Structure 1
Amino acid sequence: MEDNIDMILYNKTTKLILSDETNSRLPWLASGLLASVYGMWAMFVLPGFRKVPWKLKVFAAVSMGLQSRGYELNPILVTYAKTQAWWRGISQNQATFVRQDIWTTDLSSYNNVTVFLSPSVMETLEEKLSAELPDDARIIVCRFPFPHWSPTCTEGFGLDQVWAYDMLFLNKRRHTILKSTAQC
């Protein structure tokens, strides 16, 4: 008795479509790739999208008539900021966002600086700002305070906390400390 073609094809395995051996490499590879992309996103892009107090945003400064310039190395965050500015109808004369390293930028012409950086670079940033900013400058630091400076005021708590530093106050304090150590 002959088997019909359906029974023959049902019992015969093909190498490309059906196999007795399951190949688990593809799901593992896809899962690993997805986890890697998410990990990079979470480390480098996601922190930039965290909630920032409205009073500190560039767009709030523009609404008060100030010109703002944002420095960022991450191209995704620069594009996001530019898109937000365009969406809100803010011209490039009022707010600009550039992909540039803050460490190579001369900040001496700025009176107001807002900083979103990690704690590992705050000590180095203290030295840069102290050397470059004028006496009437104010620095707003989000999430992580400067390790050696005393803030003029602070607002919020946790990761939403901000610290304000006035260069005039910091310079007076530094000169007072230098005078007291010189007298000893």
Structure 2
Amino acid sequence: MSRTSRVLYLIVCASPRARRIGELVGRAQARGWTVCVIPTPQALKFIDRPTLEEQTGFPVRSEYKQWDITNPLPPPDAMLACPATCNTGNKWVYGLADTLALALLTEAIGLGLPLVVAPALNSAQAVYPAFDRSVTALREMGVTVLYGPGVYGPGPPGSGGRPYDWELPLEALQEKVVRPERRK
């Protein structure tokens, strides 16, 4: 693929919503993004890797590469973490980059890339005290977190497969790209 469009790194976490991530990829591509999918190791259980590789034209990377091997992915212009689990959000805030996905998210803040996160968690996870602190900390770092009344609310445990509006994170990303001064 040529480097004529903007490159979006789509970070995918282990959530039932990840099973339909190809829909988000297609919608992002329709908006002019070149999409590269980077799942967490556990998210590999939820996605169709060969189909995503065919859809994007790039390998789906979930592991670090050796330093002397060229990165097969073009550099990102923006990142979107969707779905993002409670686990990933809490680790990310503390810089615990034990997966490629977390390392890239941590680095994106330092690079000043437009960054949107769309959490996927249940109501039991949402009341864990560290989660609210993590949402606040990510927002203070300039990350757009799509969580809260009127945006996204967690469902009861076991409801992870409920419908999700894929346009929501793409609209938020567009807002960050068009108005980069709007950091939160």
Q: Identify which of structures 1 and 2 has the higher relative contact order when contacts are C-alpha pairs closer than 8 Å and 6+ apart.
A: 2
- The structure with the greater share of residues assigned to helix is 1
TM range (shorter): 0.3 to 0.5
Structure (1 or 2) with the larger CA radius of gyration: 1
What TM-score comes out, normalization by structure 1 length?
0.42
